[in-house]
Chains A and B, each alone.
Chain A
Amino acid sequence: KAGVTQTPRYLIKTRGQQVTLSCSPISGHRSVSWYQQTPGQGLQFLFEYFSETQRNKGNFPGRFSGRQFSNSRSEMNVSTLELGDSALYLCASSPDANEKLFFGSGTQLSVL
């Protein structure tokens, strides 16, 4: 069974640009969640999608958004990038939010 796939693996952007990250969950998993990991703030929850609906959202500004498609694949978008958005963005999938998470390898975003 294929694991969680995130693309791209690395991304370099400049301030003010926008970026879209992609996540393909494990087949059959309906819950997809996104996390931001930084040395200073640790691992923080961004949002969770279940059956194409955003079910939960963390404390991030509206520049961070996401969506989930009918095949459970998910995208995360960050608009008007700031230097502080540089981080490892992790996607995880699970059958439901209270179950164990299967993480992808992440997308390392650098904002210059």
Chain B
Amino acid sequence: AQKVTQAQTEISVVEKEDVTLDCVYETRDTTYYLFWYKQPPSGELVFLIRRNSFDEQNEISGRYSWNFQKSTSSFNFTITASQVVDSAVYFCASYSSASKIIFGSGTRLSIRP
């Protein structure tokens, strides 16, 4: 069965610190997609990144970077030099045509000024 685990329920760091959000997925499918979404206090989920199972390249977008490792079934998300505006709940998700979309339980990130 497909499963997404975000073991970190809450993280609190001081502004400008780097922070990594962990995501571990389980799937039996060979073709699948991994996502990260951000849910700020306003409530509307915002897409951050999508990766397919055949593309293990890491990605960097400004202060955000993602590390996809199939060997450990992980898709971790790092924010460099965190800012107060990064405070939100972050969800990791996986999708396959056989298993539909599954979200992790989310990690609440608080950035203290």
Contact = CB atoms under 8 A, between A and B. Distances in A.
A33 B44 CA distance: 15
Contacts of B102: 45
Interface residues of B, number: 20
Task: Tell me what chain B mostly uses at the interface: helix, strand, loop, or mixed.
Answer: strand
Contacts of B44: 103-106
A100 B100 contact: no
A104 B91 CA distance: 16
Interface string B60-98: 000000000000000000000000000000010001010
Query: Could you tell me the dominant secondary structure of chain A's interface residues?
Result: strand
Contacts of A99: 50
Interface of B: 33, 35, 37, 42-47, 50, 91, 95, 97, 100-106
